[in-house]
């Protein structure tokens, strides 16, 4: 069972008997003046250890960095938050003043209420399938520059490979050729939501077919919306009619040869075998 609680002292403050929903929305607390959670973790560690040196290690700060944070907080606060004692009957060390203890307890209460608010908000959002699917897309990490989300509209099974047609939101389609084993392990069938990945260097940009037809299955027509120049190669972004964009990596020489410019019509061409399909786990 998951519980939501204070991260300062490690005490658990249960907010529900049911498992918490996925953290779609997250957030840290920052008070006026830039006083954030790291400062209060440091205050809690000082209160626990009585040593700023040990407290700094516990929260991942240098000794100098910890003191700078404390000095800034002391300067901003109407009352001293941290005091240092040298020797004496009680020994030396660094301690929180009553004002420091008070503001630490206040922050713990704020943090617990903040955690409860986020838990409630996430509970509401997790019931919205469109929101959940959107965030699943956003958290996906892949090196392929082009990531298209769509639904499988057709599956043709061959002796070795499977041809999969993916319909995009604007009406365009992407054709992928994958092995039968991959299709089975991914559960590919009509209506399944998939992501189609295509690396930018594998895309050819054509502005004039010259009366020829080509064998590449994927030919996405659009308009050049942006050109990101590099020293040798450039990224050419082609906006499709349906709203999706596709990026190709081409040489600067090719850009000049094709006379590519913003607003000019262009077709992104790539083979079905270069498309990688993914499904949500």
Q: Give, in order, the Cα–Cα distances in Å from 10 to each of 4, 26, 40, 44, 97.
A: 10, 19, 13, 10, 22
The pLDDT of residue 1 is 28
Least confident segment among 9-13, 90-94, 255-259: 9-13
Mean pLDDT of 237-248: 91
CA 244/CA 259 separation, integer angstroms: 23
pLDDT at 154 over 80: yes
What pLDDT is recorded for position 241? Answer: 87
Please give the CATH topology (third level) of the domain spanning 30-133: Arc Repressor Mutant, subunit A (1.10.10)
Number of H helices, E strands in the chain: 7, 14
Helix, strand or coil for residue 274? helix
Give me the residue spans of the domains in the chain: 30-133, 140-278
DSSP strand pairing (146-157 vs 161-167): antiparallel
Q: 30-133 with 140-278: one CATH topology?
A: no
In the chain, beta strands by DSSP E: 30-31, 35-36, 82-85, 93-96, 146-157, 161-167, 173-179, 193-198, 204-206, 218-228, 233-240, 245-251, 265-270, 276-278
pLDDT by residue (tens digit) across 70-90?
888 877 777 888 887 654 444
First-to-last C-alpha distance (Å) of the chain = 22
Query: With respect to CATH, is domain 140-278 assigned 2.40.50.100?
Result: yes
Mean pLDDT of 28-40: 68
Per-residue confidence (pLDDT) for residue 4, from 0 to 100: 34
Q: Rounded mean pLDDT of 47-56?
A: 91
Residues 234 and 251: their CA atoms lie apart, in Å, by 6
Q: Do 99 and 82 contact (CB within 8 A), yes or no?
A: no
Q: How far apart are CA 34 and CA 173, in angstroms?
A: 49
User: What b/e sequence results for 174-198 when a residue is b if at least 16 CB atoms lie within 10 Å of its CB, and e otherwise?
Assistant: bbbbbeeeebeebebeeebebbbbb
Closest CA to 48 of 99, 10, 3: 10
SS3 154: strand
226/261 Cα distance (integer angstroms): 8
DSSP code of residue 278: E
* Token pair recorded at residue 169: 């939101």
Average confidence (pLDDT) over 207-230: 93
* Number of neighbours of residue 24 by Cβ within 10 angstroms: 20
Contact by Cβ (8 Å): 25, 135: no
Model pLDDT for residues 92-138, shown as the tens digit of each residue:
578 899 988 988 888 888 878 877 777 776 676 666 655 555 555 54
> Distance between CA atoms of 208 and 266, rounded to whole angstroms?
8
Give me 19's structure tokens: 């498992």
């Amino acid at each position: 069972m998951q519980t939501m609680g204070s991260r300062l002292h490690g005490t658990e403050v249960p907010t529900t008997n049911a498992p918490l929903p996925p953290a779609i929305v997250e957030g840290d607390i920052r008070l006026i003046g830039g006083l954030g959670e790291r400062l209060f973790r440091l205050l809690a560690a000082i209160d626990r250890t009585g040593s700023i040196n040990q407290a700094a290690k516990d929260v991942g700060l240098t000794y100098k960095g910890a003191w700078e944070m404390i000095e800034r907080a002391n300067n901003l606060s109407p009352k001293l938050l941290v005091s240092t004692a040298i020797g004496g009957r009680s020994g030396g060390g660094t301690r929180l003043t009553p004002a420091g203890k008070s503001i630490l307890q206040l922050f713990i209460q704020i943090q617990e209420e903040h955690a409860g608010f986020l838990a409630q908000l996430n509970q509401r959002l997790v019931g919205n399938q469109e929101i959940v699917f959107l965030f699943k897309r956003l958290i996906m990490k892949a090196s392929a520059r082009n990531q298209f989300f769509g639904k499988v509209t057709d599956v043709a099974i061959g002796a070795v490979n499977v041809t999969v047609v993916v319909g995009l939101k604007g009406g365009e389609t992407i054709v992928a050729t994958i092995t039968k084993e991959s299709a089975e392990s991914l559960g590919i069938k009509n209506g399944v939501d998939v992501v189609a990945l295509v690396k930018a260097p594998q895309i050819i940009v054509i502005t004039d077919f010259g009366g020829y037809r080509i064998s590449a299955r994927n030919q996405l027509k659009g308009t050049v919306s942006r050109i990101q120049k590099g020293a040798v190669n450039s990224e050419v972004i082609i906006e499709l009619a349906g709203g999706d964009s596709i990026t190709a990596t081409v040489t600067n020489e090719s850009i000049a040869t094709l006379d590519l410019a913003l607003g000019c019509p262009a077709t992104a061409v790539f083979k079905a075998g270069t498309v990688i399909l993914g499904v949500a786990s």
